Structure 1
Amino acid sequence: MTKTPIPLHAEDLTVFTRALAKQLGPQRPSHLTLMNMIARAAGYQNVQHMRSASAAEMRMATRQDEPPADARLVERTLYQFDEGGRLRQWPAKRAVQNLALWGLWATLPANAVLKEKDINAHLAKEHLFQDAATLRRTMISCGLMSRKTDGTDYVRIEQKPTADAKAVIQVLSMRRRARLLKAPTRDA
């Protein structure tokens, strides 16, 4: 008959060792000796080895696999936007264009189906050179937005932005918030 492994997890080795020491009674080994025995039983050389392995696991769990943002590219892209977060002109470089589109992508409503006139009106608020068609088409070709073959029903494609895109989106979000706070209210 085979044995089913029973996992053992102790939240804190010191607390576990003290509880075990009480069970062993007066003839128990020292606290450190008992901790080393437990560590060896768990497959480590000693308690220090166990502690360092645990610390390394925690560091690896919090480490991001994503490379840092390209600050120069982000800066070039942000230069294309005004202080209110609106795209001033269509960038000449393709890499800057793609990153600028991420900034516009973030303004589109998630999981919403928009008609062509609605997407044009939305993009008109976010750029200053009055060419929503170029923005729409390029966003579709870059995989940031989709539409039906008849040219209707535009939808933002949900995906995780790159590190560069996250940096651009973050700065532009702050600029847009500032723009909206400065905008005059209709009630006044």
Structure 2
Amino acid sequence: MSRTQLPYVADDISALSRSLVSQLSQLDHLPGHVEMLNLLAGAVGFRNFQHWRAARQAADALAAPAPLTPEIDYALVRRLLRYFDAQGRLQAWPTKHSHRAPCLWVVWSHLPPRQAMSEREVNDAIRAVETLGDHLLLRRQMVDDGMLTRTADGAIYRRVEQAPPPLARALLAALAGNAAT
């Protein structure tokens, strides 16, 4: 039986060693093959070997650079790509809130930073990156989520400068990779 080789990367070999020593000292026996795989996966932040392998395979399919980070669900990133067309435009609004937030970050990333915009300019910028036909929903949601501010009269909008969460950054990178191919 042929097995696909998956690269294992640990950013800090000293932390890896400490984690393995700690985990091994809690055992009253030598670990078997599967138990050792789980220990190695746990030492770099994953729940178990299956969690690490699923993340590695999804990251490889997305052409994500190693090392993996356990806070990013690469399988979810692959599912989120379905909401976008080949040009990276949002074509469907997710029903799950956990899927909406990263998709909204993609739209947010296309708004000009540190610039006052009229409502019309914001609408035009949003329309350029969506094909679902509801730029008002997206604008309203960004204001509600604190990604966009507006004056009391709604005349001036500004993008709130902040770092997107890791999942949103992974989605942006995957979309950029798809655009390059």
Give me the TM-score of the superposition, normalised by structure 1.
Answer: 0.57
Q: In structure 1, what is the equivalent of residue 97 of structure 2?
A: 94
What letter corresponds to residue 126 of structure 1 in structure 2? V
For residues 81-160 of structure 1, the aligned pairs below 5 Å read: 81-160=84-163
CA distance 1:125–1:67, shift in 2 (3 Å)? same
Question: Across the two proteins, how many residue pairs are aligned to each other?
Answer: 121
TM-score for the superposition, normalised by structure 2: 0.59
In structure 1, what is the Cα distance between the partners aligned to 2:70 and 2:150? 31
Q: Distance in 1 between matches of 2:133 and 2:122?
A: 13
Shift of 1:137: 0.5
How far apart are residue 56 of structure 1 and its match? 4.4
Q: Describe the shift of the 1:122–1:92 C-alpha distance in structure 2 as closer, same or farther (beyond 3 A).
A: same
Structure 1: which 5+ runs fail to align? 1-54, 58-62, 179-188
Q: In the alignment, is the contact (CA less than 8 A) between 1:140 and 1:146 conserved in 2?
A: yes
- 2:174 corresponds to 1:166: no
Task: Report the CA distance shift for 1:174/1:147 in structure 2 as closer, same or farther (over 3 A).
Answer: farther
Distance 1:112 1:174 in 2: 27
Q: Deviations over 1:45-80 (max 9, x none)?
A: xxxxxxxxxx849xxxxx99x743112322222110
- Answering whether residue 71 of structure 2 is matched by residue 68 of structure 1, we say yes
Counterpart CA distance in 1 for 2:129 and 2:117 is 16
Structure of greater Rg: 1
CA gap 1:82/1:70 in 2 versus in 1, 3 angstroms? same
Deviations 1:7-50 (A, max 9, x none): xxxxxxxxxxxxxxxxxxxxxxxxxxxxxxxxxxxxxxxxxxxx
Q: For residue 143 of structure 2, give the secondary structure of its aligned residue in structure 1.
A: helix
Corresponding residue for 1:27? none
Q: Which amino acid aligns with 2:90?
A: L
Output the aligned Cα RMSD.
Answer: 2.7
State the identity as a percent: 32
